[in-house]
Structure 1
């Protein structure tokens, strides 16, 4: 298994209230007063208070081509992931040259060479670092990335591995699109990045206790849900696919899937001390709580993150995980981290705080 040594978030400097964002973009989305009223109602009910954007809000009034938006993605994504990784390595007491494996994920822009390649020279990473760019997982990629990095470290117990996630959702903003999906999405998604430093169990023995062990993970792909959530490429960029069926998929499947996963780990719902749920939106969080029969307050960390920064897609669960790492955790604390994304796909990750610096989970 691997140990999470550090998590560091990064956010763009431009932060605005939900009301400021709505007032600015509503006329660009639709000129129909009734549709604007629906949009304002949806934004107000999103439970989002503030969001960080890659550009000053007035810049969004200027129409951009897909090329211009994607150029901005490459520039800002490289800056944010560099900041996040530098900070995470410092927290872990490691240097860039220590990194053996680098996984990068995003779904809001494209780049070849990929962003992780651009960071090698900027950060002073080794030229032989193993790089794995990962695209298309969307909101589930933060949880899936931790699981896949763990897979690598199981076979490389002395290595240091990094997961980088960056989503600049505001750059996918679509003008003159008054579809329900766009009206909802323009009130939910924010911009941000995160870096997770993980180490193999042999490397962990030579480091202080700094975070939980990744004990187990499970992936789930639900059939016939391809059109429930995702992106469609168009001449103006990425157009959101977002339907009410997301909550239906959760209600129909999630409780049983989590129960089966925990049972395979000889655990039950009541044994989980901390839940880290992807804050996809109010209906998503309510469906998670309902399907798992969780008590009120169990997902407060996700609700706080949604209010503070909105839905950051793949980076969201990593931001919440980073906040959990800031507080002391008792030995043996059981945590379940999970997310849902396009597919529809789900990823469940069991984390456990070790009993001592040598870990050791039964």
Structure 2
């Protein structure tokens, strides 16, 4: 039996509060229109974002009041714990495994801080063993759904027979700011949402959903200002460059070809791309770069419409639907994030 890594299960979770995009637009207008001169020029983003509903850690009314670090991180830990437990429990049940079978947990999140880490806080509740290996990862942003899964896959490959649990959890809405009268903040309030996904990985098996084949990343030089956080007393403040879609069109293709080439592959070997839908303009840019007819990334647009941009878990929501539809012989997951960086993973259909 070889040590090829397979994905045994994939589960998702979202917080209970649902925000209709029309309500978000109305609330944003009430909060910003009289204080931010450019708001009227940006208001169209709420209707052009391709989003109908989003899930949030707190009800919409919570965001109409000022909050600082303590409020935001308290909300993060409270909601992240519940989503972690829900997604991980579902994933383990779908893999027909008990929590004490898990040997390692990789957790990615860039939208809140918790020390001890979430996995430690939930260890007794979940029933994890005392000797479990924990790998919490911060700062990879939207790309972490792919790059974090790649870390989990490498750990599984290097420890044949070990069960690795991967959890991606983000509470992007907690970075919405009343005091940030900026273009980036308005766009964030129109795009970002909260969610979680969990996967169970194991090597040396032949009955998984899909095999994780190759992984790779590309860090673009001198691009630190494209995406990320600034940090002040009020919490996280979004950094988001207006030039992202044109940058994707100009630069992503070469980076993707380089990643695939390092693994002995080319785009012609890929039957389907599974992409992180950062927004409608980014999805359109991805179709251009990948040479796909407009509308090909339909599942990406569906997830964006129903859930918004949840950062790292979003591409796993797309993968979940793509698995249900059935994947070709080889697929490729693709996400981009702070750095600015691109992360790619190829998947092989299990015979």
TM score, norm. by length of structure 2: 0.95
Q: CA deviation at 1:90?
A: 0.7
State which of 341, 345, 351 in structure 1 corresponds to 2:347: 351
Secondary structure of 1:195 counterpart: strand
Q: CA deviation at 1:30?
A: 4.5
Query: What corresponds to 2:91 in structure 1?
Result: 88
Question: Which range moved further: 221-230 or 56-65?
Answer: 56-65
Kindly indicate whether the alpha-carbon contact (under 8 Å) linking 1:30 and 1:176 is maintained by their aligned counterparts in 2: no
Q: CA deviation at 1:264?
A: 4.4
Kindly indicate whether the alpha-carbon contact (under 8 Å) linking 2:17 and 2:55 is maintained by their aligned counterparts in 1: yes
Cα separation, 2, equivalents of 1:341 and 1:211: 26
Tell whether 2:233 aligns with 1:230: no
Q: CA deviation at 1:259?
A: 2.4
Cα separation, 2, equivalents of 1:31 and 1:106: 34
Secondary structure of 1:231 counterpart: strand
Cα separation, 1, equivalents of 2:64 and 2:258: 49
Query: What corresponds to 1:291 in structure 2?
Result: 289
Cα separation, 2, equivalents of 1:221 and 1:268: 19
Kindly indicate whether the alpha-carbon contact (under 8 Å) linking 1:230 and 1:242 is maintained by their aligned counterparts in 2: yes
Alignment of 1:316-331 (within 5 A): 316-329=314-327
Tell whether 2:337 aligns with 1:334: no
Query: What corresponds to 1:159 in structure 2?
Result: 162
Tell whether 2:61 aligns with 1:58: yes
C-alpha distance 322-263 of structure 1, shift in aligned 2 (>3 A): same
Query: What corresponds to 1:358 in structure 2?
Result: none
Cα separation, 2, equivalents of 1:71 and 1:126: 27
Kindly indicate whether the alpha-carbon contact (under 8 Å) linking 2:276 and 2:300 is maintained by their aligned counterparts in 1: yes
Alignment of 1:108-123 (within 5 A): 108-123=111-126
Tell whether 2:249 aligns with 1:246: no
> Which runs of no fewer than 5 residues in structure 2 stay unpaired?
none
Kindly indicate whether the alpha-carbon contact (under 8 Å) linking 1:254 and 1:292 is maintained by their aligned counterparts in 2: no
Query: What corresponds to 1:219 in structure 2?
Result: 217
Query: What corresponds to 1:185 in structure 2?
Result: 188
State which of 281, 302, 305 in structure 2 corresponds to 1:304: 302
How well do the aligned residues superpose, as a CA RMSD in angstroms? Answer: 1.6
Tell whether 2:149 aligns with 1:146: yes
Question: Which range moved further: 292-301 or 265-274?
Answer: 265-274
Q: CA deviation at 1:2?
A: 1.0
> Which runs of no fewer than 5 residues in structure 1 stay unpaired?
356-362
Cα separation, 1, equivalents of 2:113 and 2:96: 31
Tell whether 2:41 aligns with 1:43: no
Kindly indicate whether the alpha-carbon contact (under 8 Å) linking 2:276 and 2:315 is maintained by their aligned counterparts in 1: yes
Kindly indicate whether the alpha-carbon contact (under 8 Å) linking 2:19 and 2:54 is maintained by their aligned counterparts in 1: yes
Query: What corresponds to 2:269 in structure 1?
Result: 271
Secondary structure of 1:325 counterpart: helix
Question: Which range moved further: 16-25 or 91-100?
Answer: 16-25
Cα separation, 2, equivalents of 1:262 and 1:229: 24
Q: CA deviation at 1:56?
A: 1.7
Cα separation, 1, equivalents of 2:70 and 2:32: 20
Secondary structure of 1:47 counterpart: coil
Query: What corresponds to 2:105 in structure 1?
Result: 102
Q: CA deviation at 1:329?
A: 4.2
